[in-house]
Amino acid sequence: MKWVFMATLAALPLQWFIIASTPLGVGRLHQLAILGYAAVFMFRYRLSALTPVQREFATFVVANVVMLVVWSVVQLYHSQLPVGPVKEMLYLGVFLTLGAFVFRVAEGRDAGGLALLRWSASIASASVLIALSYSMLRNGISPPRVFAQTIASGDPEILQKELFKSAFVGFGYDEATVRGNIRHEVFGAILCSMYISAWATLRKPFTLPSARWLYRLSMLGAIALLLTSLSRSIIIAAAIWPLISMLSSLRGARLHGRQIAQAVGFVTLLSLSAITGVAHVLWVRFTEDTSSYEARQGLYEQTFAQLPDRFLTGGFDTEGESSHNFVLDALLRGGIFVALPAAVVMAFVVFVWVRLMLRIHLEPVYMVPVAAAFVLPIVRFLTSGGGLINPVEWATLAFVAGVLASHRRGDGEPQRPEQLQPTLTKTVAG
């Protein structure tokens, strides 16, 4: 089963490939992959295998079910088939099966599972590089030329439109329908795989120096991919990870010389970025490229203008005009009785994260990437177009739920600070 899981992680970033039409709409590669994984899991294991994750995230699961059932009723009330709710219900099933596998690996029930999951980031990054290279070659795109133009002009839009958006054309999308913001979920999948790799490596450290260095290089390569994505939400989510690690070290009095050396390395990396012009492009993207901020403000204004008419029964199509807010879009789609359980879903995730963060300095070192993993879905709750939980966020939450279910069951009380190993060093260095 571990190989099926790894194949799913490899397919998760490949979101610009449309494979077939289905009763629920177009079937993209990553969607069919996660649904296929869930089918294989349920064929191999009993329904009881889902119980630990269901218990750990019971509020989350129940709130989602209530939200989707009410949304289905609203869709029928508006004489529409409940395609969206059915699709999200399937994703909820994927969440349970992915989380159940992570739980089995954490419990040591899948031989070799931890050892294999250490290479999650490597597999996902290689998958994206191969697929993007093929896409760019087929569409006649020269990455060195695009990067050179981007750095020379300092305009991040050149990279977004001429590299990513152009690369996504021709695999089910044409120039009129392709969206450059697909990259948010593409690179979000890489970040998800990095969380899994770091956790598995901390649970089962490498013994061979060559494997340890290969792991480090793969993580650095994944970081480089995240930076080139120019996805603000993904970069922000990734940047909070080392902050959580440092906070855990400082509060637990676990700051060591190697961690200081890593901080120096990080400053060196920033310096190199500044010299090459990459830092300038990122700075422009976050501070001067305000078009999306202005557009987001306009979407919020439209949302609040729609609320009086949509408050009870919804009926607004957020696929076309989304507030990029999980709760507000739920309110527009299905009214207040869909928005309330949506708020519970979001509040539960934030609550569990805050609870973990308050005691992160007392937790084993491998819980740092788990705490960091919460940030990706939380950020996407407030930035994702369509206002739904996307497959990447479902997978990330499944990883979190599976680890927490095992941690609560197997570790009992958290260890004392003096029993723990250095956090920042081991998280990044493996």
Helices (H) then strands (E): counts for the chain: 22, 2
* Within-domain flag for 134: yes
Q: Given a cut of 90, is residue 275 above it in pLDDT?
A: no
Instruction: Pick 236 or 430 by higher pLDDT.
Output: 236
Q: Are 5 and 115 in contact (CB under 8 A)?
A: no
Q: From the CB of residue 247, how many other CB atoms can be counted at a distance below 10 Å?
A: 18
How much is the pLDDT for 373?
96
Helix (H) or strand (E) holding 213: helix 209-229
How much is the pLDDT for 253?
53
* Within-domain flag for 66: no
388: left (phi over 0), alpha (psi -120 to 50) or beta: beta
* Within-domain flag for 284: no
DSSP letters of 266-329? HHHHHHHHHHHTHHHHHHIIIII--HHHHHHHHHHHHHHHHHHHHTTT----TTTS--S-HHHH
Q: Given a cut of 60, is residue 260 above it in pLDDT?
A: no
How much is the pLDDT for 419?
37
**Is 14 buried (19+), middle (13-18) or exposed (0-12) by CB count in 10 A?**
buried
Instruction: Pick 156 or 291 by higher pLDDT.
Output: 156
Q: What are phi and psi of 25, to 5 degrees?
A: 110, -165
* Within-domain flag for 321: no
Query: What does the pLDDT look like over 355-372, one tens digit per residue?
Result: 999 988 888 889 999 999
Q: Given a cut of 70, is residue 164 above it in pLDDT?
A: yes
In the block, which residue shows the tokens 């061979």?
Answer: 208
Mean pLDDT of the chain: 83
Q: Given a cut of 50, is residue 429 above it in pLDDT?
A: no
* Within-domain flag for 295: no
What range defines the domain where residue 133 resides?
2-61+79-273+343-383+390-429
The model's pTM: 0.87
* Within-domain flag for 307: no
Task: Return the closest-CA partner of residue 390 out of 233, 223, 188.
Answer: 188
Q: Are 400 and 375 in contact (CB under 8 A)?
A: no
Provide mean pLDDT across the span 72-77: 92
- Report the range out of 114-128, 180-194, 290-304 with the highest average pLDDT: 114-128
In the block, which residue shows the tokens 């969607």?
Answer: 31
Task: Report how far apart, in Å, the C-alpha atoms of 152 and of each of 8, 159, 175, 277 are.
Answer: 38, 12, 26, 8
* Within-domain flag for 74: no
Q: Given a cut of 70, is residue 382 above it in pLDDT?
A: yes
What is the domain count for the chain?
A: 1
Q: Given a cut of 90, is residue 98 above it in pLDDT?
A: yes
Pairing of strands 25-28, 18-22: antiparallel
Percent residues over pLDDT 70 in the chain: 83
CA 84/CA 183 separation, integer angstroms: 22
In the block, which residue shows the tokens 């901390």?
Answer: 202
* Within-domain flag for 335: no
Residue 340 CB partners (closer than 8 Å, separation 6+): none
CA 174/CA 16 separation, integer angstroms: 11
**Residue type present at position 348:** F
Instruction: Pick 53 or 162 by higher pLDDT.
Output: 53
Q: Are 229 and 235 in contact (CB under 8 A)?
A: yes
